Amino acid sequence: MLLHNVGRWKLVPKSVRHIVNFRNFATEAYGSLLERELYHENTVVRLILNDKKRNALSLKLIEELHAELKGIDKIEKVRSVIIAAQGPAFSAGHEVKELTSQAGNALHCELFDKCSDMMMFIQQMQIPVIAEVNGVAAAAGCQLVAACDVVVAGESSRFLVPGQKIGLFCSTPGIPLARAVPRKVALDMLLTGDPIDAQAALRAGLVSRVVKDDQVKFEALKIAESIGKHSKSVTALGKAFFYAQIELKQADAYRYGSKVMVGNLKLQDAQEGIDAFLTKRKPNFGHTNDIVEEKN
């Protein structure tokens, strides 16, 4: 069941409404693995990992989360997604029982292929994905954090890729990690398996913001609210360009960036934003890819 089938609604308690300026939300459970909440007039989806085994990224959870993200990305009204978690761990990584020889090579191949597909899809989505981290993010859980666009962490959170300690190097978790933090930091984490705290993760660039543990949800919602004020089409363009350009040489990135900005200027939302700035008013974005006709 995907987002457009949600039915049950509640009012946000007044005690927290002023903090993040959201009105209402809905929540619906997916067995014991995934829950969903809606905020900011249904423009923000908060997905909650809810597995009793410290939110292990089992094949089932990966499939459900990937399917949900695909469905959400197609919904016009949604502006951003938050991935959060219940319990003391954001995610402890893969379900270890699925990694044994008894599980079989076919399952291992399916597990890592589908996990990689989901991680890559997060950065291919047209809407930003925010990780809301309270607790431990280990191995594939740390991979999920590194794959997200923006990360808010509680001050007691810990991040680690401890595969070395059980004889399984965190090869796939290291892929987004090495693209999020300096190589020396990534290799230190990968080779020792030792954790880093939230402040170290912030300094390294693995997380965007660190707040008190009881403020992580509200901070993530504030970021989502800020993103939602802007044009969805321009946000999608900018996110796609960002991930494309970091794989290019600098000169190629500048050439590509110039073409993207010229194309961006053709969007109605871009011209609306520029006109609003010049006339000192609030822009009224259409959130479409409609092009402005050139004037001769």
- Integer angstrom CA distances of residue 102 from 53, 170, 235: 20, 20, 45
Position 17 pLDDT exceeds 70: no
Q: Give the pair of three-digit tokens for residue 252.
A: 């190629």
Q: What are phi and psi of 213, to 5 degrees?
A: -55, -40
Above pLDDT 70, what percent of the chain?
89
For residue range 103-147, list pLDDT tens digits in order.
Answer: 999 999 999 999 999 999 999 999 999 999 999 999 999 999 999
For residue range 140-153, list pLDDT tens digits in order.
Answer: 999 999 999 999 99
Q: 108: how many CB neighbours lie within 10 A of its CB?
A: 16
Domain residue limits, the chain: 3-228, 232-278
Amino acid 295: pLDDT: 72
Q: Give the mean model confidence (pLDDT) for residues 218-230.
A: 98
CA–CA dist 20, 182 (Å, integer)? 33
- pLDDT interval class at 13 (50, 70, 90): very low
- pLDDT interval class at 53 (50, 70, 90): confident
Q: 42: how many CB neighbours lie within 10 A of its CB?
A: 18
Amino acid 233: pLDDT: 97
Amino acid 52: pLDDT: 84
Architecture per CATH, 3-228 = Alpha-Beta Complex (3.90)
| Cα 23 off chain centre by | 22
DSSP 153-197: EETT-EEE--GGGGT---TTTHHHHHHHS-HHHHHHHHHH---EE
Amino acid 293: pLDDT: 84
232-278 belongs to CATH 1.10.12.10: yes
Amino acid 29: pLDDT: 46
CA–CA dist 258, 133 (Å, integer)? 36
Position 287 pLDDT exceeds 50: yes
Q: What is the mean pLDDT of the chain?
A: 90
Q: Kindly give the interhelix angle for 59-73 and 105-124, rounded to the nearest 10 degrees.
A: 30
Ranges 4-8, 65-69, 197-201: which has the least confidence: 4-8
For residue range 172-191, list pLDDT tens digits in order.
Answer: 999 999 999 999 999 999 99
Q: Give the mean model confidence (pLDDT) for residues 27-52.
A: 84
CA–CA dist 40, 3 (Å, integer)? 15
Position 196 pLDDT exceeds 80: yes
Higher pLDDT, 23 or 92: 92
Q: Kindly give the interhelix angle for 105-124 and 232-245, rounded to the nearest 10 degrees.
A: 120
Q: Kindly give the interhelix angle for 268-278 and 232-245, rounded to the nearest 10 degrees.
A: 110
